[in-house]
Amino acid sequence: MAEITAGMVKELREKTDAPMMECKKALSEAGGDMEKAEEILRVKLGNKATKAASRVAAEGVCAIFISADQKLGAIIEVNCETDFVAKNDDFLAMSSALAKMVADANPANVEALSAMPMNGTTVDEARKALIGKIGENMSIRRFMRVDAVGVLTSYIHGGAKVATLVDTTGGDVLLAKDVAMHIAATKPKSLDASGVAAEDIAKERSVAEAKAAESGKPAEIVAKMVDGSIAKFLKEVSLLSQPFVKDDKQTVEQLMKSKGAKVNGFTLYVVGEGIEKKVTDFAAEVAEQAAAAAAKAKSAA
């Protein structure tokens, strides 16, 4: 059986906000598998166990470029090692320049963007030069170029950690900005239920089935409970069916219809989303360093 360390328990608690002992039990039951332990906690503790499941681990910024006519835009995520560098003027300037390059040149992928010319050299060489200047690794993680059906509006929040690019038709600038802010706040997975990834639905169904099975109710009731859970999940993660953050008495779709407007699509980036950051047990690290120093002193004596 895998050893369950204090560091593992701490990491799971930070991810889920579940009680310490529940985290330890879940890890033991999962044989030390962190992802499986998260699923076990979701079944045992419900939504509380996933309160922090989407917390991000990597540093960096999201940058956005929108053309003057608001018909063309780009969003990009550039990562670095520390929040300090994420605020560096040179790092921010390069991130903004890259967003414009994506909009102008429409590179196929990160490799293609990296090979493009920049300041007399290539993007990749410029990146390496900046690494040498700031003394920290940086990387281009992802980007998206958008040709709008209507017009594009952006919203950047929290030191450029969260960025949204939304395509709307009708309405005014304030309405579009409100929708962009709503997306940043609620982080929907899709415009509507039809766009939610099958993988996300399958994962949610698995959790719902496990929770419903624990109720001890007849199979037909359990099936209805699962279907109800999935329907609720789809409403919660679909932009148009979400209650509007500034007026929860109406959904985003109802708001847009009342204004004679429409959301055509959106892109949401959260810095470091899905990237795991190394978790360090500070106390253990200090103890290890002290032990190493003591051993070195003993050998020198």
pLDDT per residue as tens digits for the range 106-117: 999 999 999 999
From CA 158, how far away is CA 140, in angstroms rounded? 20
- Tell me: pLDDT of 55 over 50: no
For the chain, give the mean pLDDT.
88
Instruction: Please give the distance of CA 180 from its chain centroid, rounded to a whole number.
Output: 16
Name, in order, each residue with C-beta under 8 angstroms of 171's C-beta and a sequence gap of 6 or more.
256, 259, 260, 261
Query: What value, to the nearest 5°, has the Cα angle with vertex 249 and ends 245 and 255?
Result: 70
Looking at residue 193, the DSSP 8-state letter turns out to be G
CB-CB contact of 146 with 72 (8 Å): yes
Dump the DSSP string for 203-272: HHHHHHHHHHHTT---HHHHHHHHHHHHHHHHHHHBGGGSEETTEEEEEHHHHHHHTT-EEEEEEEEETT
- Residue 28 tokens read as 């033991």
For the chain, what is the largest distance between any 2 Cα atoms, rounded to a whole number of angstroms? 83
pLDDT of residue 137: 84
Return the top range by mean pLDDT from 220-224, 259-263, 286-290. 259-263
- Residue 173 tokens read as 């600038």
In order of their start, the domains of the chain are: 1-53 (1.10.8.10), 59-163+265-270 (3.30.479.20)
CB-CB contact of 171 with 256 (8 Å): yes
CB-CB contact of 183 with 268 (8 Å): yes
Where are the alpha helices (H) located in 66-149, listed in sequence order? 83-86, 89-105, 110-114, 123-134
pLDDT of residue 57: 35
pLDDT of residue 298: 66
pLDDT-derived band at 56, boundaries 50, 70, 90: very low
- Tell me: pLDDT of 79 over 50: yes
pLDDT of residue 51: 42
pLDDT-derived band at 284, boundaries 50, 70, 90: low
Amino acid in position 110:
V
pLDDT of residue 273: 86
pLDDT of residue 288: 63
From CA 120, how far away is CA 142, in angstroms rounded? 23
- Tell me: pLDDT of 49 over 80: no
Phi, psi angles (nearest 5°) of residue 41? -65, -35
